[in-house]
């Protein structure tokens, strides 16, 4: 049967390479340490687990379609107006809804070289044109983004901190970018890793959203709160943007377990602080240990590191990945992010972190530092 004799998708859909998540398994290995998806090594708050279990006896009821309790809990935590918050099935859904709402055929959406793959997918799915702005030292370059702006620019996606590089730009640079945008262009600040950042010049985007009409901020419960399985994202934005997205948001897009668990998780600030403390300690340790092995590690403010391998010495990321897999250590290959000779490693448990350093020292034929 020829293609003319069956339903055909829009041409832009066929330009999309489907998103491939980080691997979860290592064949033939009894114990696997999954360090490929930036999940929390501490898991969710015990209070969140309790809230999840409590929903088991009422699964016959539809959830609140507006996720009111969750929006109010987020508002209390950050001092925000709940009416300017919208929740989604992960921030991925909100990215797609923004593209669907604000891009018409031929409109452009800008993102950076190593930006989140979903930006391109969402843009093409909405008939838009993806435009890549070059990064400098694996970091978003505001001048390059400004230089990529055209009369067709409608959205700028900025992951800050960025995944998979772990880099960020200070608030002053974000403000400079917003000031350079035409008023009809929407700046989407994707702050999925904001809770991990401990830099005085960083701001996730709340202030800019509160004082402008063309900026939104995305956040997630998948990382610091350890609720990736429930897929909870949220967005803070101007009233007109929230109203627009609510018009096309699927009914009941956030399930009841996610709402109740999210409310409990965001209130457990002690658990969040434990996760931050763990990350600060082991992020620094991993960076130091891997650098001492002769590997280049991009400075990160997230809960993961970008490890570059010396291909000129015959030590490729592909070979390292295969070597680590044999020991049950699953990292993230990054060819799809234009980083074919790098691996991204989530900051894991103490056991997992030490095993990776030991395995890479063996792979490189070098002795790991003690500590």
Q: Where are the domains of the chain?
A: 3-43+270-364, 46-268
- Of 23, 84, 10, nearest in space to 235 by CA: 84
Low-confidence ranges of the chain (pLDDT < 70): 1-3, 19, 22-25, 28, 367-371
46-268 sits in which CATH class?
alpha beta
pLDDT of residue 27: 74
3-state secondary structure of 226: coil
**Which two three-digit tokens encode residue 17?**
């390479």
pLDDT of residue 87: 98
pLDDT of residue 20: 72
Q: Is the domain covering 3-43+270-364 a CATH 3.30.499.10 domain?
A: no
Q: What region does 324 belong to: left with phi over 0, alpha with psi -120 to 50, or beta?
A: alpha
Calpha distance 59→83 (Å, rounded) = 27
pLDDT of residue 177: 98
pLDDT of residue 367: 62
**Which two three-digit tokens encode residue 296?**
């280049």
Kindly report the three-state secondary structure assignment for every residue of 239-284: HHHHHHHHHHCCCCCCCHHHHHHHHHHHHCHHHHHHHHHHHHHHHH
Calpha distance 181→183 (Å, rounded) = 6
pLDDT of residue 246: 97
């Amino acid at each position: 049967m020829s293609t003319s004799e069956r339903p055909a998708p829009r041409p832009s859909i066929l330009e999309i390479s489907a998103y491939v998540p980080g691997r979860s398994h290592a064949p033939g290995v009894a114990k696997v340490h999954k360090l490929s998806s930036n999940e929390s090594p501490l898991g969710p708050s015990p209070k969140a687990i309790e809230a999840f279990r409590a929903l088991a006896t009422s699964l016959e009821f539809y959830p609140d379609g507006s996720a009111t309790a969750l929006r109010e809990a987020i508002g209390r935590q950050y001092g925000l107006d709940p009416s300017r918050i919208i929740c989604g099935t992960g921030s991925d859904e909100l990215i797609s809804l923004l593209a669907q709402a604000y891009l018409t055929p031929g409109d452009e959406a800008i993102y950076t070289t190593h930006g989140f793959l979903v930006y391109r997918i969402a843009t093409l799915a909405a008939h838009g044109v993806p435009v890549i702005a070059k990064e400098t030292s694996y970091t978003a370059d505001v001048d390059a983004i400004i230089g990529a702006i055209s009369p067709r620019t409608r959205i700028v996606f900025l992951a800050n901190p960025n995944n998979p590089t772990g880099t960020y730009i200070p608030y002053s640079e974000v403000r400079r970018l917003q000031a350079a945008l035409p008023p009809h262009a929407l700046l989407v600040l994707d702050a999925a890793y904001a809770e991990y950042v401990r830099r005085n010049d960083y701001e996730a985007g709340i202030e800019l959203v509160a004082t402008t009409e063309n900026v939104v901020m995305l956040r997630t419960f998948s990382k610091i709160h350890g609720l990736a399985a429930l897929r909870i994202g949220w967005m803070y934005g101007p009233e007109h943007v929230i109203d627009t997205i609510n018009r096309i948001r699927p009914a009941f897009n956030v399930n009841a377990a996610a709402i109740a668990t999210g409310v409990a998780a965001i209130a457990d600030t002690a658990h969040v602080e434990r996760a931050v403390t763990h990350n600060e300690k082991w992020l620094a340790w991993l960076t130091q240990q891997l650098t001492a092995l002769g590997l280049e590690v991009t400075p990160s403010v997230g809960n993961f590191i970008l490890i570059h391998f010396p291909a000129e010495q015959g030590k490729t990321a592909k070979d390292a990945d295969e070597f680590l897999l044999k020991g049950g250590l699953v990292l993230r290959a990054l060819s799809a992010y234009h980083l074919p000779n790098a691996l991204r490693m989530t900051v894991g448990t103490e056991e997992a972190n030490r095993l990776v350093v030991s395995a890479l020292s063996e792979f490189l034929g070098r002795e790991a530092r003690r500590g």
